[in-house]
Structure 1
Amino acid sequence: FLWLFITSFKTTPEIESVHYHLFPEVFKLSKMWEVWTKLGFGKYYINTLIVVIGAIICAVVFNALLAYAIAILKPAGYKIINGLVLLGYMIPSALAIFPLLLQIRNFPLGNLINTYFPLWFAFGAHAYYYLLFKDYFEKMPSSLIEAARMDGLSDLKIFFRVVFPLSRPIMGVVAIFAMTAAYSDFLLPYTVLQDTKMQTVMVAIYNLGTTTTVDSSEFLMLLVISIIPQLILFIIFQRQIMNQSVNSGMKD
């Protein structure tokens, strides 16, 4: 990233020169803003923000509800449901893209191409997030659930009033993972959001890179702009991400 950051501030002749220099002759931080305004990159970040927010909500709510049902309520056939989720986790995402697109095109309520709904559910409904919630719920003291039931709370109220508020640490981890996946993915937004006005950051960079309106210097600057948000998030939440990565590989 450091090399990319330094090179992005060079001019195109400097980049293409046979005489290599590590640092640019003129280092202008304003170049980042100039590229941003010239290409109107703000609208792509707004589109990406819409996708990311929807993905986070779906990832937290739906996976938490499923994990609550499997880990705590344990209805009839819960082992089969758990096995099916694990089976889906074993299927590579690249193999699932074609049947997913067929479902998006042939959805009973209408064609969902050029809508954000498929991206929200695709990035949110992930077996890994379900497993994180399930492992967290299984470690909760059963006395909390029993006490809530003795107070007359229904299963749904127990979830929203007891389990959900106590799940903020794992909710934060799942939100970070979902945000990263939704922000950095290219293939699904590229195939679903065919309207150029709805493109996400990664799709916009690809399309701009294939045109002649963006030179090599500006293209490298676009890459830097796209990486900075992820880098900031990783620095801020590094401890939570690393702790969860270590804990996911350990058993009590």
Structure 2
Amino acid sequence: MDYKEAWDYQDRLFSQVLDIKARNRAAAPDAQLPTPNYLLFCSHPHVYTLGKSGHESHLLISEELLKAKGATYYKINRGGDITYHGPGQIVGYPILDLDNFFTDIHKYLRYLEEAIILTLQDYGLTAGRIPGLTGVWLDHEQQVNPRKICAMGVKCSRWVTMHGFAFNINTDLSYFNNIVPCGIADKQVTSLAKELGYEVALEEVEEKLLNHLANLFDATITVTANEKRY
């Protein structure tokens, strides 16, 4: 799905949830409406996105080279620095009202990370966190060759979230050579396929990831035909 199209779709859902919360503040308790929660999985054509705290110098190629590589570039309203999205990657966008779960953004990020860590365990890989660095890493303990396999960047307003994570499955990692990924110059990026030595169907990984997210958030996830196309 085109990045801007997905961003606009996220923004519509995000705004709808915020509107319900605003109306609820003015309504009697028995007239308040429940807020919905959404989880979007998709992949994007080649695109680089720069978060609010990022540096434009971390994009290492010109606009002309971007076009030659068939890539686009957006400055966006999430936290974090620059990252890459492309085919073979699972991008997850939770639009959640954390008032329905817990009002702790750090816990929220740790739960997203944990879902990725548990999914990697399903494939026999040990992953974890590096203190001070958001995301999921391999060789996170000894750090002889630490490798990021999932980047994260979110926005949260009135406890409603948007944006999310990018999990490298069968990703063409050469596109990361055109940036300083997440502003970290001294660590590598990897993918599930690179670590396993073979490609894995995105749908298979999505199913495992979905189950872990549901368990961590103690949520029941319903997929309709209309939602699935996003």
User: One fold, TM greater than 0.5?
Assistant: no
Q: Which has the larger share of helix?
A: 1
Q: Higher relative contact order by CA 8 Å / sep ≥ 6: 1 or 2?
A: 1
